[in-house]
Structure 1
Amino acid sequence: MDRPGFTAALLHPRYWLLWLGLGLLWLVVQLPYRWLLGLGRLLGWGMFHLMSDRREVARTNLALCFPEMSEIARERLLRENFASNGIALFEMAMAWWWPRQRLARLAHIEGLEHLNDAAAQGKGVVLMSLHFTTLEIGAALLGQAVTIDGMYREHRNAAFDFVQRRGRERHNLDAKAVEREDVRSMLRSLRSGRAIWYAPDQDYGRKASVFVPLFGVQAATVTATSTFARLGKAQVVPFTQTRLADGSGYRLTVHPPLEGFPGENETADALRINQWVEQAISQQPEQYMWVHRRFKTRPEGESRPYAKRRRRKRRARRG
């Protein structure tokens, strides 16, 4: 995909409110990092109280995944998770707009040799990540050190799409954005020895998925990780990032590539992926994106665990 360019159409009045909001966010993220952490927690507190639908989705997910945890402990974890979601807004803005040198001071990277070894062998890499709240800044920090292409879904708002893509691609001019549905381009990149960020931990429905346990709950799990590794002749290299509690930044960990992957059975591969997902989440559950309806697709005969979304009633027009 070509890099986006600014056009006069993005100055249309329908985008003015968005530009105003982005401008205010740009001003706020000029503050010191520790201030932004505090503001993010405050924002997360507001989100917890105002976003009732998302709060209940996260609460349900935590109950399903950690049934052994007391209700009090899960509620504490839920509140910490919303604090992390609030911080994530400012981390996104930092990743898009902070000077590269200022941002780089927050990175503590481990395991880069695994990506360098793959590059030396001319092997592509499926950089298997997860939807942690830190994913935006984690990808930006790692992208400053090595070239990583990213799976990309075009945003319906053209102005936001422009800002988002510019922000994500600025850290490495050799990086490419690959449309999520453009499998051919992804395989072409892998076969040419490139690394592509990919996260297999969300529910994309029954198509190209199998049901395997995740925290003991049957979960529709995509088989694309196996497909990309096999057809792209690529290694699958897990990647995680952690927001450090001491406020010093982020630990980015590139883990060793999965051995013997893919196997002969896609279901066994999917189970192996979910076992790794469980392990990674369990190390920092407060930083995972629990607001996603991970278990919405159910095996035949099972009902969804989530309450129906509330629909706002439209006020009848007067006169």
Structure 2
Amino acid sequence: MPTSFQQRIQARAVAGLWRLLSHASPRQLWTLSQSLTAILQPFLKRECAVTRLNLEVVYPDMPEDDQAMLARDSLRHSTATMLELGFAWQGNEDKVAASIIEVHGERLLEEARQSGQGAIVLAPHFGNWEVLNFWLSRNFDFTAMYEPPKLEPLDPIIRAGRERCGASLVPTNSRGVAALLKALKRGQAVGILPDQEPGWGSGVFAPFFGRPAYTATLLPKLVARTNARVVTGVAQRLPGRGYALHFLAADERVYSEDEATSCAGVNASVEGAIALEPAQYQWEYKRFSKTPEEECGDPNFRRHRLYSSRNMKLARRHR
């Protein structure tokens, strides 16, 4: 579909904003995110409602006031992540590298790579995953899947930002999976976003904070074909200072030959990363939109949907 004039204008505006913000420091970007969040919150009704619903599910015993505070903090961090994209993709490389002031668990990643069977980094939507990509591609031969943005004119800008330190981006299709397999067989590192809901037929239901979540079976397939080692990686924001990278041992179930068990291990690994600081996870994503009832063709599956119109309305009242 040809790019419309409106899309080109939108893309130019976004690209211009990224260029402008690329010159800011993490401290300045965090300060700006606090002010901007207060301005944007009344307009982010869907994001706020989804966040509240997700938090009610994953932290059912948390007092309502604490859930509300966590929801507000989560929105602040999500705003900060958006503002930091220009910094991560276009900022001076030495300055971005200097903003990573702590690295924890690097030994786990090194051991995984030295096994000779490749290393798979599970990188959930926590903190600033673009900073994690920057560090990984700067320090290792690194391959990651990439899905082009809806605003097509932004594609070359985002690709250039993610690949500028040597990362190799591959499409989210069979060709991309083949490229990941080749990289692993060369003993290299690959990155996977483990908390995106795949299309029907590409996943299984596995518990995520006790609720069934449709989870991609890509990781079990890669492990079965390569015996690669798995590590969870995140870039935790240290507000006003920079970032701390954490590499955590994946749940041992990820190595199971049973895909459902392996996916349960993937979700448990994501839970372990979230525990570092729950406010830095992207709770506004509809992680539970698919249901087992829908998969099996139950005509009443809608009553089991978390993000029903009724639940969204109730969540908005409690913002």
TM-score, length basis structure 2:
0.85
> What does the per-residue CA deviation read over 1:49-97, in whole Å, with 9 as the maximum and x for residues that have no partner?
2111121111110111111011111011111111001111122110111
* Aligned counterpart, 2:73: 80
SS in 2 for 1:213: strand
Counterpart CA distance in 1 for 2:35 and 2:22 is 15
Q: Which moved more, 1:21-30 or 1:212-221?
A: 21-30
The CA deviation at 1:142 is 3.1
Judged with a 3 Å threshold, the aligned counterparts in structure 2 of structure 1 residues 282 and 14 are, in CA distance, closer, same or farther, namely closer
1:178 aligns with 2:170: yes
CA distance in 2, matches of 1:161, 1:230: 32
Q: Which residue of 2 aligns with 1:51?
A: 44
Shift of residue 186, structure 1, vs aligned partner: 1.6
Question: SS of the residue aligned with 1:67?
Answer: coil
Counterparts of residues 233-272 of structure 1 (less than 5 Å): 233-245=227-239, 247-256=240-249, 259=252, 261-272=254-265
Q: Describe the shift of the 1:85–1:14 C-alpha distance in structure 2 as closer, same or farther (beyond 3 A).
A: closer
Q: Is the 8 A contact 1:124 1:195 kept in 2?
A: yes
- Residues 34 and 260 of structure 1, relative CA distance in 2, 3 Å threshold: closer
The Cα RMSD (Å) is 2.5
2: CA distance between counterparts of 1:213 and 1:258? 13
1:304 aligns with 2:305: yes
8 A Cα contact 2:232 2:273, kept in partner: no
In structure 2, relative to structure 1, the CA distance for the partners of 1:286 and 1:177 (3 Å cut) is same
For residues 162-201 of structure 1, the aligned pairs below 5 Å read 162-172=156-166, 175-181=167-173, 182-201=176-195
Q: Is the 8 A contact 2:288 2:306 kept in 1?
A: yes
Q: Indicate the percent of aligned positions where both proteins have the same amino acid.
A: 28
Match in the other structure for 1:317: none
Decide which moves more: 95-104 or 257-266: 257-266
Flag the 1:227–1:219 CA change in 2: closer, same or farther, 3 A: same
**Separation in structure 1 between the aligned mates of residue 259 and residue 275 of structure 2, nearest angstrom:** 24
Counterpart among 125, 136, 148 of residue 154 in structure 1: 148
Deviations 1:212-250 (A, max 9, x none): 2211212212222111111133111221221114x3211
Deviation of 1:261 (Å): 4.6
Structure 2 contact 128–234 (Cα < 8 Å) conserved:
no
Runs of 5+ consecutive residues of structure 2 not aligned to the other structure: 313-319
Quote the offset at 1:109 in angstroms.
Answer: 1.7
Out of 33-42 and 61-70, give the one that drifted further: 33-42
Q: Do the aligned partners of residues 21 and 204 (structure 1) sit closer, same or farther apart at CA in structure 2, a change above 3 Å counting?
A: closer
Asked if the contact 2:142–2:168 (Cα under 8 Å) also holds between the matched residues in 1, the reply is yes
Structure 1, residues 2-48: CA drift from partner, whole Å, max 9, x if none?
Answer: xxxxxxx99x8852442233223322342333121110122222332
Give the SS at the match of 1:78: helix
**Counterpart code for 1:127:** V
Q: Is the 8 A contact 1:45 1:82 kept in 2?
A: no
How far off its partner does 1:260 sit?
7.1
What CA distance in whole angstroms lies between the structure 1 residues aligned with 2:186 and 2:14? 40
1:19 counterpart letter in structure 2: R
Distance, in Å, in 2 between the alignment partners of 1:261 and 1:54 is: 31
8 Å Cα contact 1:243-1:249 kept in structure 2: yes
* Corresponding residue to 2:116 among 119, 122, 136: 122
* Code of the aligned partner of 1:23: G
d(CA) in 1 for partners of 2:278 and 2:134? 22
Residue of structure 1 aligned with 2:272, choices 266, 279, 301: 279
Is 1:211–2:212 an aligned residue pair? no
Deviation at 1:199, TM superposition (A): 1.8
CA distance in 1, matches of 2:272, 2:251: 14
Q: Secondary structure at the match of 2:84?
A: helix
- C-alpha distance in 2 between matches for 1:251 and 1:151: 23
Matched position secondary structure for 1:274? helix
How much does 1:259 deviate? 4.9
Q: Distance in 2 between matches of 1:253 and 1:63?
A: 27
Alpha carbons of 1:285 and 1:145: their partners in 2 closer, same or farther (altered >3 Å)? same
